[in-house]
A = this chain, B = another copy of it.
Amino acid sequence: MVAKKAKASKSRDIPSQSAPDRVESLNGTQDGRLYNEILDAILDRRLSPGVKLKEDELSSIFSVSRTVVRRALLRLSHDRIVDIQPNRGATIIRPDVHKAREILGVRRLIERELIREATVAATKKSLDELRRCVDDERDQVRRQHVGSGLRLSGDFHIQLSMLSTNSTLQSYLKELVPQTSLVIAMYQTPHHTLCSHQEHFDIIDVIASGDVQAAQVEMDNHLQRIEDKLDLGNERSPGDLYAAFAHVKNTA
């Protein structure tokens, strides 16, 4: 265990920290930042399955009160990203093999329908835009560390779902993507080219062809390949909380 770096930050000079954040217009007041920050950490693989999320630690790391931390954790628990036990606190879920297959299976079900709706609604313009996104992602991955690859890969699936107007399925997918990230964190194999950009381009091309059935099959295979690359026998061990948020400037 790494020694605790943060102590407590009673200096609350600038409470106007409420940047508009980038997503989740739903109820984002201040906990939205923390919520997104933890989600990002999971997508970037800085937070591993099984990590205990203590309220005091998070509140001192992010210089917010426990009230805010609490809200963020509650939201994450409803996303099935963390598991809250009544008087025992919150930990990041550790999906077992059954759960791992379930998550991928539900993704296939959901994304099969989403890509159906997306194919029907897609325009040349929207597809070109999507292609540009994948391009940008590829460039970013080349430049940055390997961890971000997975994160951006998940972004593609969410971007794609935006072509549909089904907000219910979109929200399900937004929960499933970080869950998938945790599954991958637990069962990844050495070669972590899990979600290749080429396959994403292929998916876009199939959508462009307008063949709904083919698009569904393409997506299904894509997700199946991800599952196939996992090693459902070897589990990785939990990581450290403070290492995950080392980049957060502590105002103590």
Interface residues of A (CB under 8 A from B): 26-29, 71, 74-75, 77-80, 84-87, 98-99, 102-103, 105-106, 109, 113, 165-169, 171-172
Q: Which residues of B contact A166 (CB under 8 A)?
A: 102, 105-106
Flag if B77 contacts A74 (CB, 8 Å). Answer: no
| Chain B nearest Cβ from A130, distance in angstroms | 22
Flag if A86 contacts B27 (CB, 8 Å). Answer: yes
Flag if B29 contacts A86 (CB, 8 Å). Answer: yes
Flag if B102 contacts A167 (CB, 8 Å). Answer: yes
* Nearest-CB residue, chain B, relative to A32: B86
Q: Which residues of B contact A87 (CB under 8 A)?
A: 29
Q: Which residues of B contact A74 (CB under 8 A)?
A: 27, 71, 74-75
Flag if A113 contacts B102 (CB, 8 Å). Answer: no
Q: Which residues of B contact A79 (CB under 8 A)?
A: 78
Interchain CA distance A21-B190 in the complex, whole Å: 46
Flag if B102 contacts A168 (CB, 8 Å). Answer: yes
Q: Which residues of B contact A113 (CB under 8 A)?
A: 109
Q: A26-B77, A74-B74 are in contact. Are A168 and B106 (CB under 8 A)?
A: yes
| Chain B nearest Cβ from A180, distance in angstroms | 12
Q: Which residues of B contact A106 (CB under 8 A)?
A: 166, 168-169
Q: Which residues of B contact A103 (CB under 8 A)?
A: 168
Q: Pick 22 A–B contacts, CB within 8 A, sort by A.
A: A26-B84, A27-B74, A27-B84, A27-B86, A28-B86, A29-B87, A71-B74, A74-B75, A80-B168, A80-B171, A98-B165, A102-B166, A102-B167, A102-B168, A103-B168, A105-B166, A106-B166, A106-B168, A106-B169, A109-B109, A109-B169, A172-B172
* Nearest-CB residue, chain B, relative to A25: B86
Q: Which residues of B contact A86 (CB under 8 A)?
A: 27-29
